Amino acid sequence: MTKFLVLTRHDSELDVPPMDQWDPADMTAHLEYLTRLNDELAAHGELVEMNALAAPELAKTVSADGRSTPVITDGPFPEAKEVLAGYQLLDVESEERALEIAALVSSAPGPDGVPLRQRIEVRQVMWSRSDEM
């Protein structure tokens, strides 16, 4: 089994308004689709964890040299071309399976039920450490 991180970004290149401007019914359909997908992956024993991230308005960027006070700036902002929205950590049989799941995430329905076709980044995990498991 191999672990893959499946990253979903809000992509401003897509011709889709931000989610807070969607019809509530479309939003519900979108979330139900993803919930169902994650439930199925969990039932298969393929979903290690899933996290949706808070809005980029709350994001902070930190840089430090280890001596002086760290420099903390706000952002990245939603105007940024791509903003990380959430991720799933999968533990699957093969890369093909991870890509298949990413395709299902990508085709989640958007406004009027049209598949969003978000570009999903799939990254293989190289090294893990977990104190809880």
Partner 1 sequence: MTTPDALEDLLRELAPQVLGVVIRRYGDFVLAEDAVQEALIAATTHWRRDGVPENPRGWLLQTAGHKLTDIHRSEQARRRRERSATVDASLDAGLDAGLDAGLDAGPEAADTDDTLRLLFLCCHPALTPASAVALTLRAVGGLTTAEIARAFLVPEATMAQRISRAKQTLAGETFGMPSSDERAQRLLAVLKVLYLMFNEGYAATAGDDLVRVDLATEATRLTRMLAAAVPGDGEVTGLLALMLLTDARRPARTGPVGELVPLAEQHRSLWNREQIAEGVVLVTRAMAGGVVGEYQLQAAIAAAHDTASSAEQTDWKQILRLYGLLAKVVDSPVVTLNRAVAAAMVHGPAVGLELLEPLDEQLKGSYRLDAVRGHLYEMLGDDERAAEHFRRAARRTTSLPEQRYLTGKAALRRR
Indicate whether 64 belongs to the interface with partner 1 (CB under 8 A). Answer: no
How far is residue 73 from each of residues 57, 66, 80, 81, measured CA to CA in Å? 12, 17, 15, 18
CB nearer partner 1, residue 49 or residue 112: 49
Indicate whether 121 belongs to the interface with partner 1 (CB under 8 A). Answer: no
- Interface with partner 1: number of residues (CB under 8 A): 22
Nearest in space to 125 (alpha carbons), one of 38, 8, 2 = 2
Output the smallest distance, CB 63 to partner 1, in A: 25
Indicate whether 83 belongs to the interface with partner 1 (CB under 8 A). Answer: no
Rounded to whole angstroms, the maximal C-alpha distance in the chain is 53
The residues in 90-109 that bind partner 1, with binding defined as CB under 8 A, are: 91, 93
Q: Alpha-carbon torsion 80, 10, 96, 45, what sign?
A: positive
- Residues of the shown chain interacting with partner 1 in the complex, contacts defined by CB under 8 A: 1-3, 42-49, 91, 93, 124, 126-133
